[in-house]
Amino acid sequence: MADSQTLIEFDPDSLTLGEMEDIEEASGLGFMELVEQFDSQKLTVQSLKAVTWILLRRDNPDLTLDGVRDLTIGELAKIGGSAGPLDEPQTSGQPD
């Protein structure tokens, strides 16, 4: 997954047509409906999962939509329209 310094930013203008299509398929919404949800900060979990998947998939091409389900709300707290760190969950009791 992303390292602890990865910045996630949802900028609809940076998306490819393929990414927009994938977001529509994964969220069940038209792309502009999803952008309106994002702008109003009233995302459904399914929409949040779709956007997160597309953005993280850029650096992690093997990431699946189901793989995003393991992320916590704390890890996603900074995605809501502005850039921020996405911390990788610790896999051991000791920090690296």
DSSP letters along the chain, please? ---TT-EE---GGG--HHHHHHHHHHHSS-HHHHHHHHHHT---HHHHHHHHHHHHHTT-TT--TGGGGG--HHHHTT-SSS-EE-PPPPSSSS--
Q: Is the pLDDT of residue 89 over 90?
A: no
* pLDDT per residue as tens digits for the range 30-60: 999 998 888 888 888 898 899 999 989 998 8
Tokens of 95: 């920090």
Q: Cα 49 to the chain's mean position, in Å?
A: 6
pTM: 0.67
Q: Is the pLDDT of residue 80 over 50?
A: no
